[in-house]
Amino acid sequence: MRSVVALLCLGLAAPAADVRVVEEIVAKVNNEIITRGELERQRRQVEQELKRQGANAAQLKEALEQAQRDALRERIDQLLLVQQSKDLNINVDSEVSKYLAEIQLQQKIAEPEKFQEFLREQTGMTYEDFRQQVKDSMLTRRVIQQEVGSKIVVPRAELQKYYDDHKAEFVREEQVLLREILISTEGKDEAGVAAAEKKAKDIVDRGRRGENFGNMARDNSDAVTARSYGELGAFKRGELRKDIEELVFKQEKGYVTDPIKQPNGFLILKLEERFAAGLQPLEVVESEVMEKLYAPRMQPAVRTYLTRLRQNAYLEIKEGYVDSGAASGKDTTWKDPAQLKPATVTKEEVASQTRRRRLLWLIPIPGTSTTAKAKSSSGN
C-alpha cells in the first residue's frame, strides 16, 4: 500500500481504495514543502506557550485564531529566510552547539541520552528536531539582521528631536544596571568549594582588567542568566538586598565586586550603568531612544524584504490555504501534476526546433564586435 504523502511527493493521483492519509502537502517553497502536520504542530506550540504564560480563555481563543490566520505565512517566511542563509553562506552550527551545551550545563545533566530525553519531555520534540528548530531560528535572525537591520539608519538629529520632545519619559529615580556571574558550590565538598572560590577570584581579576564581563558570564556562570550574558536589569534603591545595595550604589560604572558568598555559591556583580535621579542625559538613554525609533522601522522593512523573497521564489499553495503575507501579483496557484496533459507536437515542429538549435551558434554574442561565420561542409 502506498501512502498519500509518497504519491503527493511524486505528483501522482492517489487511488482512494487502498491508501491511508499520512500527511498533506499544503505548499511548495522552492525545493521544499510545507505540510498540514507542520502547521498543526506550530499551532500546538503557540497554545502551550500561551497557557504557560497564563492566558485566559478569551485571550487564548483570540491569539489562536490569529496564529491560525498567520501560520502559513510564518512558515513560508522561515523557509525563505533559511534558504536565503545558504545563499549568503551563513553558518550557525557552533552557536547552536554552544546554546545546547549551555542548556545541558544549566540543567546539570551530564549524560547525552538523559539530556535528549529531558528535551523531549519539555518540548515534545526529538533532540534532532529541537536542534533544527534552534538552528532555523538563529539563521532567520542572522539573515534579518544582515540584510535588513544593518541597513536601517536613524539620523542623530532624529534621536535628539525624539529626546527633546519626550523628556518626561527619561526622568528616573536613582538606578543601577547590573550583570552577574554565579560560581556554584552546590553538592561540592570542602575542596570543591575552595576551587569554586579560586575560580570566582580569577574571574574578578579578569573583569577588573577589562575582559568582557558578559562573555565571561555566558561561559562561566551557573546562574540561569548565563544565556543572557549575566544581565540582571535595573534596580532602584530598596529593590536589592541591603548589603548589596550599600555596595553597588556607592560605586561608579564599571565596578566589579569581590566574590560575595551565597548559600549556593560565589556571586560576582558588575555595575554596568548608574543613573542619577532626575532627567537622564541623551548620552545615557541613547540606546533606549534608538530602540523606540528603530523598532517601528524594522517590521515594515522585514515585511518588504520577505515580499521580495516571495516574488523571486517558486511558490505554490494548495486551495483552501492562505498566505497572509502574499506578494501582490504573484501567482501561487497549486499545479497538480496529475491533471497536466502533455502537449501535442508535430514532426514539422520538432524539425524546426532542431534546425533552430543548430543555427543558434551563428548569432553574434552580445557585447562583441565580431560576427561568427558559417563553416562549409568541408571545414574550410
Q: What is the pLDDT of residue 191?
A: 93
Among 95, 78, 73, 94, residue whose Cα is nearest residue 144: 78
Q: Would you give the DSSP letter of residue 107?
A: T
Q: What is the pLDDT of residue 377?
A: 41
Supply φ then ψ for residue 67, to 5 degrees: -60, -35
Q: What is the pLDDT of residue 348?
A: 56
Single-letter code of the amino acid located at 90: I
The one-digit pLDDT tens for each residue of the chain (380 residues) are: 444 443 344 344 444 555 555 678 999 999 899 999 889 888 888 888 888 888 888 888 898 888 889 999 999 999 999 999 999 999 999 999 988 988 888 788 989 999 999 999 988 889 999 999 999 999 999 999 999 999 999 999 999 999 999 999 999 889 899 999 999 999 899 999 999 999 999 999 999 999 999 999 988 999 889 888 999 988 999 999 999 999 999 999 999 999 999 999 999 999 998 888 899 899 888 988 999 999 999 999 999 999 999 999 999 999 999 999 999 999 999 986 655 444 444 545 545 544 443 433 343 434 434 333 333 344 44
CA dihedral 227, 92, 307, 315 (to 10 degrees): -130
Q: What is the pLDDT of residue 301?
A: 96
Q: What is the pLDDT of residue 6?
A: 38
* Distance separating alpha carbons of residues 332 and 271, to the nearest angstrom: 54
E strand or H helix at 235: strand 231-236
pTM score over 0.95: no
Q: What is the pLDDT of residue 125?
A: 85
Q: What is the pLDDT of residue 303?
A: 96
Residue with cell 494548495: 318
Q: Are 193 and 259 in contact (CB under 8 A)?
A: no
Q: What is the pLDDT of residue 49?
A: 83
For residue 232, the SS3 value is strand
